[in-house]
């Protein structure tokens, strides 16, 4: 029998590791007779806010709408520019365009692939109202640098934490540095539901109150719409109950991700792979991503060696057909272009066994020997 491919992630194993607790949570919700925005949602918001050290958490239907509502709550829309990166899978760009604003693409740092504060400073205009800083692959962006630039120009700072649940620097969690932190609970995320989900966190109670209105038709109270720009973006009780089961395990899962990434980095340190930094808890390794110029050939050989891989993300946002149609062509951003051609994601998830890590290591080292220089 041929060996099964080691997957980049495996939601079935993740589910199996806590199936009983999840079934119990589902049963509790089914029996309750209340299915959207109820006690489970309230409890989860409280627990997640406490975990983050934020005053308020407002849950929504998904991470992209969290970003969109973060812009809307600051009344950012047509005529306004929002700075973001182009190597992070179109999420922030989708939110900016849906809010009616114009994305302005900022290049990334060569070592972390997150937003360059220097390039940010160069791209701000009098129309710029906000910056969305994405913590990519679990690695926190340079918030000190970004906040210094943004605060000097009076811009709102929105953190995209959809890949960085639980990341922290100097004991301060990702999501609590800027004005609003946005999260996705898509099933593959470090903290994932069993369907779609999202949340925003903030220390500003007025902002939280407006967000609660915007996620439900702009209602200040039932059937009274007071806030413009409202929509329907609510979290289900079922998803909130699942998230409450999982939240207490998030730190342990992140530690296992970091452990696997450290094993890989150690094993690949003398190869030609460009590795990500893993110094501290500012990287919770949502994805283990390495870089090399011969990426596509490398992946093909890995497939033959029954090791799964993926590319996050192959196309810069400004080169996507939908964006080109709306905004026209864009000058290439050098580090962004390089990243999109070179990044490759290797298997890394909490339930990955040590023996599988060894298999990936051997396969990667063998494949690299066969690649032309
Ligand atoms: C997953 C993701 C999102 C969007 O989340 P959805 O819940 O799928 O809308 C936003 N930003 C980043 C960086 C993500 O990885």
pLDDT in tens, 167-223: 999 999 999 999 999 999 999 999 999 999 999 999 999 999 999 999 999 999 999
Q: Same structural domain for residues 96 and 222? A: yes
Q: What six digits make up the tokens of 139? A: 């690695």
Write down the pTM of the prediction: 0.98
Helix (H, G, I), strand (E, B) or coil at 285: coil
Is the pLDDT at 337 greater than 90? The verdict is: yes
Q: Same structural domain for residues 123 and 255? A: no
Does the beta carbon of 181 sit less than 6 angstroms from any atom of ligand 1? no
Specify the pLDDT at position 344: 98
Query: How many residues are present in the chain?
Result: 373
- 219, 248, 277 - which closes a domain: 248
Whole-number average pLDDT of the chain: 97
Confidence tier at 18 by pLDDT (50, 70, 90):
very high
What integer is the mean pLDDT of 154-169? 98
Q: Same structural domain for residues 122 and 271? A: no
Is the pLDDT at 359 greater than 60? The verdict is: yes
Confidence tier at 373 by pLDDT (50, 70, 90):
confident
Q: Does 16 reside within a domain?
A: yes
Q: Same structural domain for residues 193 and 299? A: no
Q: Whose CA is nearest to atom 12 of ligand 1?
A: 162
Residue 74 and residue 48 in contact, taking contact as beta carbons nearer than 8 Å:
no
Q: Same structural domain for residues 229 and 257? A: no
Angstrom distance (rounded) from CA 197 to CA 192:
8
Confidence tier at 1 by pLDDT (50, 70, 90):
low
Q: Same structural domain for residues 360 and 268? A: yes
Q: Same structural domain for residues 21 and 152? A: yes
Q: Same structural domain for residues 20 and 83? A: yes
Q: Under 8 Å CB-to-CB from 140, ≥6 apart: which residues?
A: 114, 164, 167, 168, 169, 174, 282, 283
Q: Does 6 reside within a domain?
A: no
Residue 292 CA to ligand 1 centre (angstroms):
25
Confidence tier at 57 by pLDDT (50, 70, 90):
very high
Of 188-192, 228-232, 263-267, where does mean pLDDT reach its minimum? Answer: 228-232
Does the beta carbon of 62 sit less than 6 angstroms from any atom of ligand 1? yes
Residue 185 CA to ligand 1 centre (angstroms):
8
Residue 85 belongs to domain with CATH number: 3.40.640.10
Q: Same structural domain for residues 100 and 112? A: yes
Is the pLDDT at 58 greater than 90? The verdict is: yes
Q: Same structural domain for residues 231 and 328? A: no
């Amino acid at each position: 029998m041929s060996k099964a491919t080691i997957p980049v992630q495996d939601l079935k194993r993740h589910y199996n590791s806590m199936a009983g607790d999840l079934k119990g949570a589902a049963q509790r919700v089914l029996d309750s007779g209340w299915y959207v925005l109820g006690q489970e949602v309230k409890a989860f918001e409280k627990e997640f806010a406490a975990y983050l050290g934020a005053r308020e958490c407002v849950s929504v239907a998904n991470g992209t709408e969290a970003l969109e509502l973060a812009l809307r709550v600051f009344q950012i829309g047509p005529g306004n520019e929002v700075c973001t990166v182009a190597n992070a899978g179109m999420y922030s760009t989708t939110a900016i365009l849906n809010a009616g604003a114009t994305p302005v693409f900022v290049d990334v740092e060569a070592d972390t692939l997150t937003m360059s504060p220097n390039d940010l400073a160069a791209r701000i205009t009098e129309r710029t109202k906000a910056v969305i800083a994405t913590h990519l692959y679990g690695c926190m962006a340079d918030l000190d640098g970004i906040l210094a630039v943004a605060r000097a120009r009076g811009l709102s700072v929105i953190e995209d934490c959809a890949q960085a649940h639980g990341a922290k620097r100097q004991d301060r969690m990702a999501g609590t540095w800027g004005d609003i932190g946005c999260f996705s609970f898509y099933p593959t995320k470090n903290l994932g539901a069993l369907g779609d989900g999202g949340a925003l966190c903030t220390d500003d109670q007025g902002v939280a109150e407006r967000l609660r209105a915007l996620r439900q038709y702009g209602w200040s109270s039932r059937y009274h719409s007071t806030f413009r720009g409202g929509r329907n973006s609510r979290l289900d009780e079922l998803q909130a109950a699942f998230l409450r089961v999982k939240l207490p395990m998030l730190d342990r899962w992140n530690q296992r991700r970091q452990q696997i990434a450290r094993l890989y980095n150690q094993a690949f340190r003398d190869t030609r792979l460009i590795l990500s930094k893993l110094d501290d808890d500012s990287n919770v390794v949502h994805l283990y991503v390495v870089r090399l110029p011969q990426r596509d050939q490398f992946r093909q050989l890995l497939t033959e060696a029954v090791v799964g891989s993926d590319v996050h993300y192959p196309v810069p946002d400004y080169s996507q057909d939908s964006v080109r149609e709306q905004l026209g062509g864009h000058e290439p951003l050098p580090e962004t272009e390089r990243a999109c051609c070179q990044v490759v994601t290797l298997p890394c998830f909490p339930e990955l066994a040590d023996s599988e890590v060894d298999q990936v290591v051997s396969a990667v080292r063998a494949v690299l020997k066969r690649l032309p220089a």
